[in-house]
Every structure is written in C-alpha cells, then in structure tokens.
A and B are shown apart, each in its own frame.
Chain A
C-alpha cells in the first residue's frame, strides 16, 4: 500500500471525526486488553485480534441504518463493538462467563446479538458468506430496503461457496455488500502465495457484480465507498463488492508468532498508515480537537475497557445446567 495521500478536504464535521476516533480507539484498547487477559489465562482457546483493521468496520458502520444486518468470521470483536454491542458482554463471552453475549457458550468466535442485528461470529472460513446472502434474501423477501454487510477475509475469498453465493446473489439481486477485508495474510499464507488473480474484488465481474478496491486504513475512504455500495443495494440493484485493503498488526491468533512477515513490515504500517493516528492528525490539524480533548477521549475509552475487563472477571461461570440448554428452541 502506498503512503497515504492527504485526504481531500471534505465536509467532515468535528463531531463525526471524533466519533470515528472514539469508535476505533475503543476497538484497539479492547483488543489490547483481550490480549492481556489471554496472557493471564482468563481467555482460552482461539482469540483473533482485530488491531490494525479498525477503520474497516467503523467506516462501514457509519453507512448503516436501523435494521441493516452484519455477519462476519471469527475475527469478530471489532464488528461487535462497532455495531454498538456492549463491551462488557463481549469481554465476558471471551472469558466464558454467564454475562457474555452467548452466556459463555460461544466464545470469541461465536457471538450474536439479535437486537443489534449482528449474526455472528462464524468459525468455519467462508461459511458466513452464503449465510449473509441468506439474511439479505430475507430482507428482499419481506420487501424492505435493508442491506447485509457480509465480511470475509482474503483467505475465505478462495472458498468455493463464496462464488456459489456471488452467483445466486446477483441472480436474485440480493441486497448484500460483500466486504473482503484483505489484510494480506490468510493465517501465514500471503495473498500472493494463495492466488494469481491480481485482485479479489474483480472476481465478481464473472458474475456481473460491481465492486472496487478501498483504502482500509482511511476511515473516510471506507465510509465513502460504503455509502456508494449501500446506495446500490438499497436501490435494488443487487450485490456489491468492497475489497478493503487493511492490515492486522498482531498474529493470526494469539499463538501465532507471525514469522511469515518482517517486523519492519509491521512497523512500517503502524507508523505510516495507522488508521487511528490518521484521524488523530485530521482532528488536530483541522483544529477539530485539542490534545486535551483527545486525552479525555483516551481516558474515557480506557475506563470503558477496564470496566469491561472487570465485569468479565467478576461475572460467574455459567451454571452447570447450562450445558443442557439452548440445544432446541
């Protein structure tokens, strides 16, 4: 990715920029805390952090309206926070406690909120893609103009069911936005080692689906592309693909030493392209906020995350009879 072009003068308000800053910072601090709790043995199993990719979900959530749906893979904490789910409930699910969104029965990879129209949290790479199209199908069937954001990674983009879904989504004009979060690595396999296609979004052309590549380290660029995609879907023109170029700073999961890339590569992204720093600069340079304003936001976010961490430790483990509940409705 090239270094950031100066963001064109836009009519972004101070309020809007501050909300992006706050939302992205919440995800980052939350994930750092999750990493810490994992280190302490409070979170078990697989834990995939979203650090580095915050602008993707925050930019796209800025284009959603009530009733819009979202579904993603196992790297899902950021999506949940961005759509307004309670950090306490998310963190308590990570620690496997009663206060978690799935009452401790789902874990990091399997969380849901019907209230916030968040449909998971799916652990099988690519499986959420037809599910997302199915959610969009239900909206079209009911005759409303809601859309479904269906997120998947560059790794999932090589699964066959993605293309089965592209075909049907276009055939039936489903209001689904396929968001490919291209963070360059499918676990340890770089995109270049997994495919010779030059870009992933262009594969949609085989089915007649429009799309584009987006700078995923620039929340304003993500939002602008999201607005275009959402308008397309709401107008009944069928699906749209956004390949959002992003980067994860941490390993694939907590136990990934990330030896497949250099420390310099990661460091370069962090110093030159960080999405949160970008908004911070916009806020300061545009005189939309002072250092003190931002410090106050930092403090506020830290308090929310600490409160979530405390809750996730204090919430009891699920009652033992929970083993046998929720198998059948």
Chain B
C-alpha cells in the first residue's frame, strides 16, 4: 500500500520549512532510518529520516521549495512493484494531528463576571477542649516532642540533617532523639544540602516519611531545585501516582547579628509554589501541633521555625496526641477597629502593638496565619469585614510579600469593606546589615506596627 510522506515538524515551534535537498530519487529502495531529505527550519538544517520501508514512488515537492507547511505530503512511498496511485486513488495518509489548541480549550475561559462570594466565616473552633490540662514548654521542647511522638508512632518517620544526631542538633531541636531512636533513624549528614535534600525526596518516593532538617533555611537555597522541581511537582507530573511525604524544617529569618547570608525570611518564596505546604508557627503549642500534622501530611511541607522563638515558653496542652490542622488561622486577640495579620516572629510585634494600642482605646484583632499555604483567607476576610482596616506584619522583603498576596485577596473579595488603604509591614528592602543599630532598623518593629495601625484608623 502506498504511504504519503509528510513534511515533518522538526522543532517545538516549526510551522513551515524549506525542503532543501532530496537525498534519494524516485525508484530508490528506502529502509527505515535512512536519511532521505534535508529540511531547513528557521534555526537549522535538519536531516529527515524515513520511518517506513518501501520504494520512493514519487517526489511531490521539489528540492529547493520554500514555505512548505508541516504535514504537507512531500513524497509517496510504495511497496516493491506497486504503481504510484493517481489522483483518483488516494494514498493512505496518516491522520491529521488533533487540534491541540482547538475550540474545546476555549470553553475553559474564566467567566467574565465573577460570582459574588459568600460572606466568609472563620473557623473558630478551639484547638483543644476547654479544661485541658496545660504545661509550660519552650518552642524547642515542643518541636522535639512532636518529632519524638511521631517517630514512636511510625517506623517510616526518620530525621536527617547536619548535626542532628551526635551533636544533638545545632539548635538542640533534636536533643535526645539519637538516644531514643538510634542511628538508623536519626542520621547525621555531611554538609551537602543539595545532595541530602534529594536523597530525602527519593526516600519519600520510596515510601518513607523523612524529616529533613536544614541548619538554617538560608542553606536550603543549595537544595532549592530538589524542593521545587522534585518534591513539589512530582505528584502532578505523575498524574497523582507519586506523592512526596516529606518535611523540610529548620530556623528561618533573622536571628541576631548574623548578617545578610544568615538572615532572610523565605515564607513568601515557598508560598508561591503549588504542591508545597508552608507552615510558620509562633507559639509552642502551634509548633508542636503543626509539626505533628506536617509529618503526617502526604505532601511536602516547608516548616519555617525561628531561632529567637526557640527559647520562648508558652502553654502547651498536655494531651496524648495534640495536632493543629493546616489552613486554620488562630485569632489571638479579638478586636473591632483594625485587623492585624501576621505569622511567626511577626506575632511578637503584633501582639505587643495590640496591647499598647488597647491602652489608647484602639481595639485590634490579631490573627496568626500559622500556615501560609494553605492560607485561611476566610478568617482574614471575616475579620476585615468587621474591622474595615488591615495591617499585615512579616519579616520578609516587601516586593512580592505574603502581605501583598493577602492585600490582593482582600481587594478582590472585600474591597467595599475597606475604610483605609491596607498597609503591608515588612522587613526593609535591604540585605541584613551586621551593625546592631542598622540591623534593628532593617527589621520590622512593634513601633512600626503601632504607627501603621494609627495610620489606617486615622487616630
């Protein structure tokens, strides 16, 4: 049976090309893999190989022809002894390619008029039952307990990182874990973030649930490709087959006087990535409850801690298995005049500011996001619809901040409720300086929160 040879597409963008040269003539025997023609694309001259076997029956497009559209028949291949079909008897043609960008695709266009969203309602169920016995713990102890409890519960949970085992953790978060769980499950790595992040992701593909500690999240930049391209995207790229249950955790943001390379908040960076969950606890109870949830989550979780908060003490519920769900903000303080949204160490300044403002008769509602992704936008919107004013507080840089995103959500869904422009308080737009006075200036402060609230409340 005769087969038409079609003008091939030879690059992702080629639509037409020049049939520069035929390397065979009519009557030649063709084997699959033979180079039969040279075709010029806009970028290069390419060799064109035969796929089917047969005899070159007829060359339809002469050498030297420009502007030959992709999928135009350029020659007819026949079997030995077969006649070239005349116009009447059409040769078998491979079916035309499906319209990949056809009408069907257009039906997905977004509706022009967005439906009016239902008034959001914040989930205000308490994190623990009333009357629960509490104990005082540092954030450091809470994080360790969370890991130890989950490691006791499931053998596939293990922790790896620099100095996590014998040194007991650079910041003593993994203290005691080596003694209890042994070297099989508490693993010291060499200083090789890119490599051990990749090994952790591979181990998660293999059915384990790794906790990968970065000594600080600044060092995770060495491993960013594995976090984004391997951990976050594989579930999607595999059509749902290959999940990556892994926790990347460690201190994030500024500590004190450690300079530009060790002082950066990555919340907004990671929050941008579909496939990741991003957690940033403030209190010890949240550190514990959220880390336990992170370890059980079937997705990659970025768990951003803070060195300054490690030593702070909070009340933690004395429960056998206490967890905090993702995507549920916590309202630390109810108020009526302004909403302050923050997370992590930003909560310190926000709560201090609210205390001071209360003395001046300004009632601030303070919301701790706890998880940046998924984000409890309902809690923010419900609060803004009540207070009509919003200030966001974070330590990261201003451009593309978490606050910027919150502002866009509020603009889209609660614009008419706003009585003042939203203020996004952030760290200053500079690398972190070392000098004590300059570092203080670079960070967001309680004074700035107070001032921003006064601005949006015109008081």
CB distance from A160 to the nearest CB of B (A): 7
Contacting pair B10 A39 (CB below 8 A): yes
Q: Map CB proximity to B onto A221-257 as digits: 1 under 8 Å, 0 otherwise.
A: 0000000000000000000000000000101001101
Contacting pair B194 A160 (CB below 8 A): yes
Of the residues A105, A131, A137, A254, contact of B237 by C-beta under 8 Å: A105
Instruction: State whether the Cβ of B298 lies closer than 8 Å to any Cβ in chain A.
Output: yes
Nearest CB in chain A to that of B199: its residue: A134
Across-interface contacts of A63 in B (CB, < 8 A): none
Instruction: State whether the Cβ of A158 lies closer than 8 Å to any Cβ in chain B.
Output: no
Nearest CB in chain B to that of A114: its residue: B241
Q: Map CB proximity to A onto B192-214 as digits: 1 under 8 Å, 0 otherwise.
A: 10111111111111111000000
For window 263-292 of chain B, which residues contact chain A by CB distance below 8 Å? Answer: 274-275, 277
Contacting pair B71 A41 (CB below 8 A): yes
> In the complex, A127 Cα to B202 Cα: how many Å?
10
Task: State which of A3-11, A96-104, A208-216 sits at the interface with chain B.
Answer: A96-104
Instruction: State whether the Cβ of A66 lies closer than 8 Å to any Cβ in chain B.
Output: no
Between B49, B202, B242, B245, the greatest number of chain A beta carbons within 10 A of the residue's beta carbon is seen for B202
CB distance from B442 to the nearest CB of A (A): 32
Known contacts A39-B10, A167-B190, A320-B108; is A131 also within 8 Å of B158 by CB? no
Nearest CB in chain B to that of A164: its residue: B195
Contacting pair A137 B229 (CB below 8 A): no
Between A103, A131, A317, the greatest number of chain B beta carbons within 10 A of the residue's beta carbon is seen for A131
For window 167-184 of chain A, which residues contact chain B by CB distance below 8 Å? Answer: 167-168, 171-172
Instruction: State whether the Cβ of B65 lies closer than 8 Å to any Cβ in chain A.
Output: no
Contacting pair A36 B51 (CB below 8 A): yes
Task: State which of A13-21, A42-50, A75-83, A284-292 sits at the interface with chain B.
Answer: A42-50
For window 40-80 of chain A, which residues contact chain B by CB distance below 8 Å? Answer: 40-42, 44-46, 69, 71
Contacting pair A161 B194 (CB below 8 A): yes
Contacting pair B206 A69 (CB below 8 A): yes
Contacting pair B184 A135 (CB below 8 A): no
Across-interface contacts of B184 in A (CB, < 8 A): 141
Contacting pair A35 B239 (CB below 8 A): no
> In the complex, A106 Cα to B32 Cα: how many Å?
29
Known contacts A141-B158, A160-B194, A257-B44; is A40 also within 8 Å of B97 by CB? yes
> In the complex, A114 Cα to B239 Cα: how many Å?
11
For window 237-265 of chain B, which residues contact chain A by CB distance below 8 Å? Answer: 237-243, 245
Instruction: State whether the Cβ of A190 lies closer than 8 Å to any Cβ in chain B.
Output: no
> In the complex, A33 Cα to B199 Cα: how many Å?
36
Across-interface contacts of A168 in B (CB, < 8 A): 189-190, 192, 195-196, 199
Across-interface contacts of A121 in B (CB, < 8 A): 237
Contacting pair A137 B230 (CB below 8 A): no
Across-interface contacts of B100 in A (CB, < 8 A): 41, 44, 96, 317
CB distance from B213 to the nearest CB of A (A): 15
Known contacts A130-B226, A141-B184; is A110 also within 8 Å of B237 by CB? yes
Contacting pair A130 B195 (CB below 8 A): yes
Of the residues A130, A134, A172, A323, contact of B194 by C-beta under 8 Å: A130
Between A41, A96, A317, the greatest number of chain B beta carbons within 10 A of the residue's beta carbon is seen for A41
CB distance from B267 to the nearest CB of A (A): 19
Nearest CB in chain B to that of A249: its residue: B33
> In the complex, A36 Cα to B6 Cα: how many Å?
9
CB distance from A51 to the nearest CB of B (A): 8
Instruction: State whether the Cβ of A1 lies closer than 8 Å to any Cβ in chain B.
Output: no
Across-interface contacts of B299 in A (CB, < 8 A): 328-329
CB distance from A278 to the nearest CB of B (A): 16
Across-interface contacts of B199 in A (CB, < 8 A): 130-131, 133-134, 137, 165, 168
Across-interface contacts of A103 in B (CB, < 8 A): 239-240
Across-interface contacts of B11 in A (CB, < 8 A): 254-255
Between B7, B41, B47, B236, the greatest number of chain A beta carbons within 10 A of the residue's beta carbon is seen for B236
Across-interface contacts of A328 in B (CB, < 8 A): 235, 275, 277, 298-299
Known contacts A132-B202, A133-B202, A135-B205; is A33 also within 8 Å of B230 by CB? no
Contacting pair A41 B9 (CB below 8 A): yes
The 6 closest A-B pairs by CB, nearest first: A134-B202, A130-B198, A138-B206, A39-B8, A164-B195, A255-B11
B binding-site residues for A, Cβ under 8 Å: 6-12, 14, 32-33, 35, 41, 43-47, 49, 51, 70-71, 94-95, 97-98, 100, 104-105, 107-108, 156, 158, 184, 187, 189-190, 192, 194-208, 225-226, 229-230, 234-243, 245, 274-275, 277, 298-299
A-B contacts, 16 of them at CB < 8 A, read: A32-B49, A35-B49, A46-B12, A103-B240, A120-B237, A124-B229, A127-B226, A127-B230, A130-B195, A130-B197, A130-B199, A131-B198, A131-B201, A138-B208, A167-B192, A255-B43
Given contacts A110-B238, A134-B202, 10 further A-B contacts (CB under 8 A): A103-B239, A106-B238, A106-B239, A112-B237, A112-B239, A124-B230, A130-B201, A141-B184, A165-B198, A257-B43
